[in-house]
């Protein structure tokens, strides 16, 4: 696999996510992925759990086609797209000890917890290396209450590049807009971008110099911070090289950014920015944390006054509050699919080469053991994934098996993801990919 640090420090090979499509110069991009393999993957993680009753049609008692089934009210927005869905029930994550949240363990497939550092890379980061190279290999965005997104514009709870190496989510759309499109903006946004760029350059130089005087043990840790600033500055320079291309995809900045009435205004702006990063081709992996992987989260823009931990203690099935939240998520999924469907790629569209994984960072509910971890897959990536169906898993297969399957279809030969043989023997009945999800 490619090393992310070398990728960002190397020359701008381009945005391989959209090779062969007509909307960008081919010389900006890396070679396309093989036929029938994904070129980009989106992870949408809802907090507080994903009760299976909110996604499995009531008339379905076992695995089968969704053709004649009616999707439950919480995900009814996906009804016109159900031939592109695969609802999976029965995977487990008991080894992640989720309780309130598995945090990094949800995408890492290992033991997680509040304040527990990641013990290895998460699947979204590993896929970002296996998929065609892009200028920004991995983008994480996190949605929460206005108060939390303002006071903590970046937070790390879900994704990691390795043990003790968390990846931060962007939660303030104004900051993220500057990162992605500040170089092509005008007026105040441009001034802020240039001022911030100068500060980051100075910080990189100062931190690099100061770090040399530290003891060896601290120098390595300090070096990670230096590299973080170096990566950000390097990304800015690379985005500047494709500024003409980016102008076609930059969202319009309106009062939702600067004067949001509700937190959902910022949620929508963040989604717009995530979609633009995909459709412009500057990233191939997008991770969305609704609730930012924690037990918090707010949706006052939907008329939901309750927020945070209390939401997790409400039963989700037939609950008007959770119906609103899940419907909002479903509409977001539709927006992603429609945006990717609108962009030609090869003999089809970008959505034809994309997989969306919708699940929770907390299995099926709050205070869960992780014994059941429902997942919805959207898209077939050129016919490689089964769609239009519901699968009730039999036996004992962990979420790690799904993740190793995703790596396999991306071209990586793996038997287990983040599981040694001893753990696999204890938590997995079989070896290899989930045959149930593949054609």
Q: 39, 32 in Cβ contact below 8 A?
A: yes
Higher pLDDT, 244 or 71: 71
The pLDDT of residue 296 is above 50: yes
pLDDT given at position 235: 73
How many Å from the N-terminal Cα to the C-terminal Cα in the chain?
A: 26
> Quick count: other Cβ atoms within 10 Å of Cβ 190?
15
pTM comes to 0.86
Instruction: Return the beta strands (E) in 201-302 as ranges.
Output: 285-290
Spatial neighbors of 306 by CB under 8 A, at least 6 apart, are 314, 321
For residue 142, give Cα distances in angstroms to 51, 168, 431: 21, 9, 33
Q: What is the pLDDT of residues 9-37, one digit of tens each?
A: 322 222 332 333 333 333 333 334 445 67
139-197: per-residue pLDDT in tens? 999 999 999 999 999 999 999 999 999 999 999 999 899 888 886 655 665 555 444 55
Using an 8 Å Cβ cutoff, are 101 and 45 in contact? no
pLDDT grade for 316, boundaries at 50, 70 and 90: very high
SS3 of residue 10 by DSSP: coil
**CATH architecture assigned to 4-9+38-175+268-437:** 3-Layer(aba) Sandwich (3.40)
Whether 40 and 284 have beta carbons less than 8 Å apart is answered as: yes
Q: Which pLDDT score, from 0 to 100, does residue 182 have?
A: 81
| pLDDT digit string, tens, across residues 196-245 | 555 445 544 555 555 555 566 555 555 555 455 456 556 777 787 788 88
Q: How confident is the model at residue 282 (pLDDT cuts 50, 70, 90)?
A: very high
Flag whether pLDDT at 265 surpasses 60: yes
Token readout for 344 is 């030609």
Residue 215: its pLDDT value, please? 60
pLDDT of residue 209: 59
Query: How many whole angstroms from its chain centre is CA 43?
Result: 4
Tokens representing 10? Answer: 């190397």
Confidence of residue 3 (pLDDT cuts 50, 70, 90): very low
Q: What is the pLDDT of residues 357-411, one digit of tens each?
A: 999 999 999 889 999 999 999 999 999 999 999 999 999 999 999 999 999 999 9
């Amino acid at each position: 696999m490619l090393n992310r640090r070398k990728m960002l420090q190397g020359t701008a090979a381009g945005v391989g996510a959209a090779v062969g499509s007509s909307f960008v110069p081919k010389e900006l991009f890396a070679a396309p992925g093989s036929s029938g393999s994904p070129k980009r993957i989106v992870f949408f993680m809802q907090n507080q759990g994903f009760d299976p009753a909110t996604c499995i049609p009531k008339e379905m008692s076992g695995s089968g086609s969704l053709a004649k089934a009616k999707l439950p009210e919480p995900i009814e927005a996906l009804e016109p797209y159900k031939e592109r869905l695969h609802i999976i029930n029965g995977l487990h994550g008991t080894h992640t000890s989720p309780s309130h949240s598995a945090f990094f363990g949800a995408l890492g497939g290992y033991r997680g917890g509040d304040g527990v550092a990641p013990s290895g890379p998460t699947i979204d980061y590993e896929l970002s290396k296996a998929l065609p190279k892009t200028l920004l290999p991995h983008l994480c965005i996190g949605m929460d209450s206005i108060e939390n997104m303002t006071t903590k514009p970046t937070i790390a709870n879900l994704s990691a590049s390795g043990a003790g190496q968390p990846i931060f989510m962007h939660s303030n759309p104004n900051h993220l807009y500057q990162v992605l499109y500040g170089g092509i903006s005008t007026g105040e946004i441009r001034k802020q971008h240039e001022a911030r760029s100068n500060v980051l350059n100075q910080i990189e130089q100062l931190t690099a110099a100061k770090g040399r005087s530290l003891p060896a043990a601290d120098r390595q840790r300090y070096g990670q911070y230096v590299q973080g600033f170096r990566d950000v500055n390097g990304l800015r320079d690379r985005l500047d090289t494709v500024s003409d291309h980016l102008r076609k995809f930059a969202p319009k900045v309106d009062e939702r950014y600067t004067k949001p009435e509700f937190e959902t205004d910022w949620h929508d702006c963040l989604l717009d920015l995530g979609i633009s990063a995909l459709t412009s081709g500057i990233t191939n992996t997008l991770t969305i944390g609704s609730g930012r992987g924690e037990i918090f989260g707010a949706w006052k823009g939907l008329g939901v006054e309750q927020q945070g931990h209390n939401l997790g203690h409400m039963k989700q099935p037939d609950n008007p509050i959770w119906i609103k939240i899940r419907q909002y998520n479903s509409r977001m999924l539709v927006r992603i699919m429609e945006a990717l469907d609108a962009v030609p790629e090869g003999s089809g569209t970008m959505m034809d080469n994309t997989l969306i994984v919708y699940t929770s960072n907390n299995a099926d509910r709050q205070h869960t053991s992780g014994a059941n971890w429902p997942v919805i897959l959207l898209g077939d990536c050129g016919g490689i994934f089964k769609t239009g169906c519901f699968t009730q898993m039999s036996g004992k297969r962990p979420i790690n098996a799904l993740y190793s399957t995703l790596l396999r279809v991306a071209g990586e030969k793996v038997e287990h993801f983040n599981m040694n043989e001893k753990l696999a023997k204890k938590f997995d009945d079989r070896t290899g990919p989930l045959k149930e999800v593949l054609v």
